[in-house]
Structure 1
């Protein structure tokens, strides 16, 4: 299950590469604030990618700690801490997803 989340993260990274290529072709025509806005958009994409990678890492660590707890190699406190961290990361990712979907829906309601 975690690997499917990671593959979704990989898809977002390939989209980012396409944005970089189009940004570099458009970058020659952009000056001043428009160029700065394009760099900030790329920065937002990298932040979102890092957040997704961090969530996947937290989920994998929680899974490992859970198996170690079952095997008796980790104490209960370590398992609970890892699972709570993974849950917090997942809830944050879900909240971002919900906000992005709501923003998209609001944009689609705008009449041109």
Structure 2
């Protein structure tokens, strides 16, 4: 079974919204600056969007390289960035799944 961000979205929104209203240790967040605070779901969504953009850019550059329109160094850099983005997404997914499994094993 494959796990996707879309499948986690409802749970992430619920968890992220609750977590954003409290700081570390359950203390309420105190806004010290004018910058808006983002919750966990928004952060994950932003990371996913960035990763998708990086992978698409890598694919586009690789295709341009095969057509002779992009230099080899640029192709290699784009593909390596896409690979790093994919590895990061997989690592985050593994941590989220591990945390979910740990929570599901907790006794109520």
Q: Which 5+ residue runs of structure 2 have no aligned equivalent? A: 22-26, 31-35
Per the normalisation by structure 1, the TM-score is 0.66
Q: Spell out the pairing of 1:2-81 with structure 2 (5 A cutoff).
A: 11=6, 15=10, 33=28, 36=29, 43-81=39-77
**TM-score normalised according to structure 2 size:** 0.68
> Deviation of residue 15 (structure 1)?
4.1
- C-alpha deviations, 1:70-94, integer Å up to 9, x for none? 1101011000000000000110010
TM-superposed deviation, 1:67: 0.8
What is the CA–CA distance in structure 2 between the aligned matches of 1:15 and 1:100, rounded to whole Å? 14
Residue-pair matches, total: 88
2:89 counterpart (89, 93, 97):
93
Per-residue displacement from partner, 1:11-49 (whole Å, max 9, x unpaired)? 47x749x75xxx6xxx9xxxx82xx49x96x52111111
In structure 2, how many angstroms separate the alpha carbons of the residues matched to 1:15 and 1:75? 43
Gapped regions of structure 1 (runs ≥ 5): 1-7
Aligned to 2:102: 106
Q: Matches of 2:69 and 2:83 in 1, distance apart?
A: 22
Q: CA deviation at 1:68?
A: 0.5
More helix, by proportion: 1
